[in-house]
Chain A
Amino acid sequence: NAGVTQTPKFQVLKTGQSMTLQCAQDMNHEYMSWYRQDPGMGLRLIHYSVGAGITDQGEVPNGYNVSRSTTEDFPLRLLSAAPSQTSVYFCASRRSGGNTEAFFGQGTRLTVV
């Protein structure tokens, strides 16, 4: 199993550009989520999905869209990049049911100039 795979690992965007961060998992997990990590602010939830076709907003959803057409994939779209979206982005997945471990990808470091 590859686990949770995120691409790309690094990306530089210009203000106003759009892009999609890819996330794929091969563990057949129902629950997937996107976090951003900023210095001193821990991990903040952007969007999450409890299964294919179902998504919901997290703590900081503005400026981001998600979709979940398959169990395996959960892409995160930046509609019009802003410098405030410079961050490290992590995708995570886990089985449904509360007491289950979350598996994280290696992260995408995004810089918006």
Chain B
Amino acid sequence: GENVEQHPSTLSVQEGDSAVIKCTYSDSASNYFPWYKQELGKGPQLIIDIRSNVGEKKDQRIAVTLNKTAKHFSLHITETQPEDSAVYFCAARNTNAGKSTFGDGTTLTVKP
């Protein structure tokens, strides 16, 4: 089955700095890669996703890059703000199989 590794497990940055979270996956058939943000006491919520036919996608301060050859994808958050503090999960899905496999999560703390 699919295996997703996520690094780092914790990340602390100063407000205004950039944050990068990296994930690797094992199944070359995976072709959909969403990122979720989980705030304290809430369920995960999608913040950005990328499909395997795209190398990069941006949405304001967040961006995701995908390297299919190396089987890794990354989340980039620029100009971080205290409200970006949360747990972030990456996931990989083979759209034919339907199930998603999640990384273990990264706890991001943005210090004011």
Contacts and interface: CB of A to CB of B under 8 A. Distances in A.
The answer on A and B forming one complex is: yes
A97 B95 contact: yes
A98 B95 contact: yes
Contact of A106 (B31, B43, B93, B95): B43
Contacts of A92: 43
Interface of A: 4, 31, 33, 35, 40-45, 48, 50, 58-59, 90, 92, 96-99, 101-102, 104-107
Interface of B: 1, 6, 9, 31-32, 34, 36, 41-46, 49, 51, 89, 93-96, 98-105
Nearest to B50: A99
Given A99-B32, A107-B43, A40 B89 contact: no
Contacts, number: 59
Interface centre among A35, A40, A42 (most CB of B within 10 A): A42
Nearest to B52: A99
A31 B104 CA distance: 23
B31 A98 contact: yes
Given A40-B9, A43-B89, A99 B95 contact: yes
A42 B42 contact: no
User: Lowest 10 A-B CB distances belong to which pairs?
Assistant: A98-B95, A104-B43, A42-B104, A43-B102, A42-B102, A101-B46, A104-B44, A99-B32, A42-B105, A106-B43
A106 B49 contact: no
Contact of B99 (A42, A58, A96): A58
A90 B45 CA distance: 12
